[in-house]
Amino acid sequence: MLQFGFVFGIAHLAAMIFAPFFAATSPKIGAKNVFVVGSLLQSLFGGLLFAFLVRFLLFLFPMRIFFLLQDKVNDTTTFLSLSYSFRQVKF
């Protein structure tokens, strides 16, 4: 039960890793431009992710079944590996 925090915290870890890059870039480019470019990139990659999910729907349906059966895993390392991978797919 204690590992659930790490699964949801992986997004914050990524933010912590990339924060110095954006902190160094923001004064050079401008805060407004960083916000606009970030919004455009997020919408672009969100659209690409949506297209990817629609195209591979037949692959993702069995993955959802594996996600539902994940609580049957007794090994902590296997459970965390599956949790991290499923979190990145963003069910």
Q: What pLDDT does 41 receive?
A: 84
Which has the closest alpha carbon to 90: 18, 8, 17? 8
Cα–Cα distance, 90 to 63 (Å, whole number): 11
Instruction: Give this prediction's pTM.
Output: 0.40
Q: What is the sign of the dihedral through the CA atoms of 47, 48, 52 and 55?
A: positive
Rg of the chain, C-alpha, whole Å: 17
Q: What is the sign of the dihedral through the CA atoms of 29, 30, 31 and 33?
A: negative
Q: What pLDDT does 4 receive?
A: 67
Q: Consecutive sets of 10 residues in the chain, 91 residues long: mean pLDDT of each?
A: 68 85 86 86 79 66 70 81 72 47
